[in-house]
Amino acid sequence: MKKTPTTILIALLLTFSFILNAQQEDTAKLKSVYFEVNDYVEDNEGCLKCHGEQKFKLEDAFGRTVTEHMCPDRFVDRDKYYSSVHKSFSCTDCHSYDLFEFPHPLEARIEEKMICMDCHGYDESYAQYHFETIEVEFQESIHNIDEFSCWKCHDPHSYKAFMRNADDIEAAVLYDNEMCLSCHANFSQFMVLTDRGEINLVESHDWLPNQVAHFRSVRCIECHTEINDSILIAHKIMPKTEAVKNCTECHSRDSHLMHTLYKFQVKEDRKAGFANAIILNNSYVIGANQNIVLNWLSLLVFGLTFLVILFHTVMRIIKLKDK
């Protein structure tokens, strides 16, 4: 074959793209953003080479390599981990060093885990979150049963303070609802915590019209918690008999929904018909619409009409007298 400049160029390009590909494969595994937020990325790989993969490799007693499937319950997603509130942590900040051994020793697996309050309770720097109030609310909630802890809703490897930082309410609603659905739409998670049979959410909410639209725009906690204005996220989940079933609690002006989902939006925004226009994607929720500009405008129109009538009457009286 004749070595034309074109074939040389193609050959060069091919080699180049090969190198690029190889590099991409490396960075696909360990993105540079991980190193920006965490000083222990390489240590964590000691765990994530198994827990961060769908499958992992092991050496059997004869030195042969076998490939195993990582069970989804024990899978830790790197992207989610390194964007969670605890993104700067090493695995061994919360877990035993003995877990570097495999097979994992039993004692290390059933280690006592630290809870939120151990690190955040009565700490000034986290005062805005009101951990102490949340702790009390959790104690009083229906989930205060054996083996249930804050971690059951707050996945230790992915939790974000989503709602607080959200500019997209719909995404935040989805995020919060998924926390509940991880059990309430997944019986295998639910059943390890209780002897109760499966709860069919669609059936237990069949009194609610258009469930899909409602579950997309309101959070489970809107209806299932007691209003508590001192915290952003109410945590006292009540028995089902106390859940909101009355439509007017939301479909009215000073609604339940306004007290919970939109509490962090400034009151001014709400007055300007904010709830319907922005949050509810313009779908109409009866009574939620109150536009202050329109209110004043209608007063002005009303006042002007009154003045015109008054002027007219006065003129008529004067004219009558003249006759």
Which residue, chain included where needed, has tokens 């102490």?
A: 132
Compute CA distances 33 → 20, 26, 27, 77, 161, whole Å. 19, 14, 10, 14, 19
Which of 41, 91, 169, 234: binder of ligand HEC (CB under 6 A)? 91
Of residues 143 and 271, the one with the C-beta less far from ligand HEC:
143
Which residue, chain included where needed, has tokens 């007298």?
A: 321
Q: Which stretch binds ligand HEC (CB under 6 A): 24-32, 102-110, 296-304, 312-320?
A: 102-110
End-to-end CA distance of the chain: 118
Interaction residues for ligand HEC, span 226-245 (CB under 6 A): 232-233, 235, 237, 239-240, 243-245
Of residues 144 and 305, the one with the C-beta less far from ligand HEC:
144
Return the number of other C-beta atoms located less than 10 Å from residue 287's C-beta: 15
Interaction residues for ligand HEC, span 103-122 (CB under 6 A): 103-104, 109, 113-114, 116, 118-120
Compute CA distances 255 → 89, 230, 260, whole Å. 41, 17, 9
Which of 30, 46, 83, 291: binder of ligand HEC (CB under 6 A)? 46
41 binds ligand HEC (CB under 6 A): no
Residues in the chain: 323
Task: Kindly state the tokens that stand for 243.
Answer: 């859940």
Which residue, chain included where needed, has tokens 């400034």?
A: 266
Q: How distant is the alpha carbon of residue 317 from its chain centre? A: 68
Task: List the one residue out of 289, 264, 259 whose CA is nearest residue 277.
Answer: 289
Q: Please tell me the count of residues contacting ligand HEC according to CB under 6 A.
A: 106
99 binds ligand HEC (CB under 6 A): yes
Which of 2, 55, 64, 74: binder of ligand HEC (CB under 6 A)? 74
Q: Please give the Cα distance from 163 to 262 (Å, whole number).
A: 10
Q: Write down the least CB distance from residue 166 to ligand HEC, Å.
A: 7
Of residues 5 and 239, the one with the C-beta less far from ligand HEC:
239
285 binds ligand HEC (CB under 6 A): yes
156 binds ligand HEC (CB under 6 A): yes
Binding mask 188-227 for ligand HEC (x = CB under 6 A): -xx--xx-x--x-x--xx-xxxx--xxxxxx-xxxxx---
